[in-house]
């Protein structure tokens, strides 16, 4: 028996994958299935789940409403569609800005001397040692009306004798964007760095040797060869940004409500797990669709493993 096990590579593989498989089945597959069942249910007046098969939660998410002006039985309420749309555009914008910021930095680190490289990477990772929520609160300190940024501008304005009213920066969509970009920047820098660092110096030399200047070398050689890193980074940034609710909660207040906030409130405040479940699944489907089309176009980003 033991002998046969030793010789059978596929059994060994199964054996090694077993703990994780059980873990994922119990904590991912089953809960997901429960979420699906609950999303078809109805909320009872005292906040329990009545199991049924109803699409009400989904139609409500996409704007079907019975709470209408006089004389209409049903109408379109854009509230939740707007939230979905806002989440989607914010995730796109965040990812885009993060790429623009991360790429040059990753390039700089990858081309630095090996000793300095490790130091720079270390510096990129330092913020991750502090709790996510605390870092977002730090931004609140910076952005609020009496915060550090307003204080500095006010001080300069005072020195220059310019009248200055503190800027309203906190609780705006821009504040949420800034927070998201800040939080997720390292997750883009690392995979791009990994793919850039793998490009052999002789490829740059070969491009130059064949007549390409710096710009054309970048566009024809560096960028295509580092695309796996960009793809991996995009997946690592886009997906969490779609679902995070802490950043928008703290920096967006009641002004910027994302899908994440919606789901959180359904479960905790509104006590409607059926609607929360439906929203969760829609978020998942939306994210999967975007990721699917994205990876179909650019590949899967082997760097996601290296990162």
Partner 1 sequence: MASEFAVEMRDVVKRFITPEGNEIAAVDHVTMQIKNGEFFSMLGSSGCGKTTSLRMIAGFEWPSDGEVYIEGKPMGHTPPFQRKVNTVFQSYALFQHMTVFQNIAFGLEMEGVGQEDIKKRVGRALEMVQLTGMERRRPKQLSGGQQQRVAVARALVKTPEVLLLDEPLGALDLKLRKEMQLELKALQQQLGITFIYVTHDQEEALTMSDRIAVMSKGKVQQLATPVEIYERPVNKFVADFIGESNFLEGKVQSISGTEAKIFIPALNAEVAGMLMSNQIVNGEDVVVSIRPEKLRIVESTAQGEGIFDARVLNSVYIGSDTHVYLDCHGIKLKVMEQNRISRLDPSSFYARDQIINIYMMPENTLVLKKD
Distance (Å, whole) CA 183 – CA 134: 11
Distance (Å, whole) CA 58 – CA 285: 13
Closest distance of CB 231 from partner 1, Å: 13
For residue 96 the two structure tokens come to 């885009």
- Number of residues forming the site for partner 1 (CB under 8 A): 17
111 to 150: interface string for partner 1, x by CB under 8 A? ----------------------------------------
Nearer to partner 1, 70 or 200 (CB): 200
Closest distance of CB 302 from partner 1, Å: 12
Closest distance of CB 204 from partner 1, Å: 9
Nearer to partner 1, 27 or 223 (CB): 223
Q: Per CB under 8 A, does 46 bind partner 1?
A: no
Nearer to partner 1, 254 or 296 (CB): 296
Closest distance of CB 215 from partner 1, Å: 11
Distance (Å, whole) CA 245 – CA 291: 20
Element (DSSP H or E) covering residue 43: strand 42-43
> Of 306, 203, 184, nearest to 242 (Cα)?
184
For residue 53 the two structure tokens come to 């098969």
> Of 306, 272, 113, nearest to 192 (Cα)?
306
Nearer to partner 1, 28 or 206 (CB): 206
Distance (Å, whole) CA 287 – CA 49: 27
Question: Do the Cβ atoms of 147 and 170 come closer than 8 Å?
Answer: yes
Distance (Å, whole) CA 36 – CA 56: 13
Please list every residue from 182 through 221 that binds partner 1, using CB under 8 A: 200, 202-203, 205-213, 216, 220-221
Closest distance of CB 106 from partner 1, Å: 18
Q: List interacting residues with partner 1 (CB under 8 A).
A: 200, 202-203, 205-213, 216, 220-221, 224-225
């Amino acid at each position: 028996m033991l002998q046969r096990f030793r010789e059978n590579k596929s059994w060994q593989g199964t054996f090694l994958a077993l703990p994780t498989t059980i873990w994922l089945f119990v904590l991912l597959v089953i809960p997901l299935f429960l979420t699906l069942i609950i999303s078809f249910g109805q909320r009872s007046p005292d906040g329990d789940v009545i199991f049924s098969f109803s699409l009400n939660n989904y139609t409500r998410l996409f704007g079907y409403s019975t709470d209408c002006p006089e004389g209409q039985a049903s109408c379109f309420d854009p509230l939740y569609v707007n939230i979905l749309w806002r989440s989607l555009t914010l995730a796109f914008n965040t990812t885009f800005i993060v790429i623009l910021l991360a790429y040059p930095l990753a390039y700089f680190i990858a081309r630095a001397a090996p000793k300095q490289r490790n130091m720079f990477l270390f510096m990129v990772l330092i913020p991750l040692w502090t709790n996510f929520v605390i870092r977002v609160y730090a931004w609140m300190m910076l952005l609020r009306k009496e915060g550090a940024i307003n204080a500095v501008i006010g001080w300069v304005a005072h020195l220059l004798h310019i009248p200055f009213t503190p800027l309203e920066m906190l609780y705006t969509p821009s504040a949420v964007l800034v927070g998201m970009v800040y939080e997720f920047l390292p997750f883009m820098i690392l995979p791009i760095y990994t793919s850039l660092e793998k490009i052999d110096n002789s490829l740059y030399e070969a491009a130059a040797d064949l007549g390409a200047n710096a710009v054309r070398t970048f566009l024809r050689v560096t960028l295509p060869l580092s695309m796996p890193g960009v793809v991996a980074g995009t997946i690592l940034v886009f997906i969490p940004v779609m679902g995070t609710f802490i950043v928008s909660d703290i920096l967006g207040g009641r002004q910027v409500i994302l899908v994440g906030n919606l789901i959180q409130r359904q479960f905790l405040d509104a006590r409607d797990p059926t609607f929360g479940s439906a929203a969760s699944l829609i978020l998942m489907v939306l994210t999967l669709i975007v990721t699917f089309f994205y990876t179909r176009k650019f590949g899967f980003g082997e760097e996601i493993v290296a990162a």
